[in-house]
Structure 1
């Protein structure tokens, strides 16, 4: 069980090698054993857990000179600040200030107190985050089905989890596409295998997103889900017209 949980966590966090990830994709997309089904449930559980600590925030670029400062400090063994002429107090000679960092103050006997206050603050913040995480695990409903969407090369691009309240959670597992002002990603499903696709909503950014779709029958095993690239505002015909970015069949998660 612990091995399955570890594998599921590594999968969700993106820590697996491409070949291992491909094998996990296949096991989740078409589970053939109880262990495969357990793996799919654990992946779903970790995805729900991390919704409390959203990893899909907008990236912030580091200062342009950050790597130059780090490289210079490593090569010379000196402080990378241009105005530095002596080691900083407190034994922090090897600390590289990344951007406009002020010089460390002289030790006036209160640094230890401030350090412990910082540690205490971090501990409190960690406790609050853990409480939020546990509350999310308890309060977040379990999805009825989960689908791994694959591109034409068999690479996983997104996970779609469908719930009983006509909502879905889409978690990108790869960059997929970068919709501009004239394009969006649209999510579709086929509740009736012989019927037309039904739109579940639009993604205008590649981040984890909750969508509330139309009133549909409960999602079922082997139900098709896909994401296409459409004009801004969605497909004008109400049916998928653009290129398919990823598609997959749902598997029950219980």
Structure 2
């Protein structure tokens, strides 16, 4: 985006752009240009900091995960396989050393066949393998939990009220970023719209702002798909379409 185009952005668009920056959705030359603008634009920098405080709430909901119960058995199996594969090579090397260096054979052979030496080497290898295996296991788990698309739902005042995360396995969840007042007898209904000809479809009904799984099993899901929250009767919209005021809305974007 050119500097002149950035200057023509509305306040709402600038706020949304700051949110995209914090989520990592701006990259390449656009990211470089945005960060240069941050250095001379206190208002934009304040918007970025506000987004960071909002998204800090999402980080706080992440539950620490213990290593997989099968991790240790996998490590032991790998060590056993390595030991079996190393035995023939160790025997062949010992034979070569005896033939080519008889003058040092007895001493080197004693060292080479020392059970203490090999136990120490195996133990050191095991210690090195443990953090690597744990790291790989954690990396795979983080990849499974990393959303592939996100939608930041903004209020009319351009304040982030919630985030919708979509995952590679088809899961879709809404995570509130702030408390939303729900009057007695009312509820928050979550909608999605991918085709104006079809119209919005309800994907969730909650009595208060909380993390909730959305029901999109049989519905399309793609980039630039609208999600919004409206205030409806406690039993949901009587028409099957949004009838109450819009609490927040936003469209999906590809997560990097």
User: What TM-score does the superposition give when structure 1 sets the normalisation length?
Assistant: 0.48
Q: Which has the larger radius of gyration?
A: 2
Looking at secondary structure, tell me which structure has more helix per residue: 2
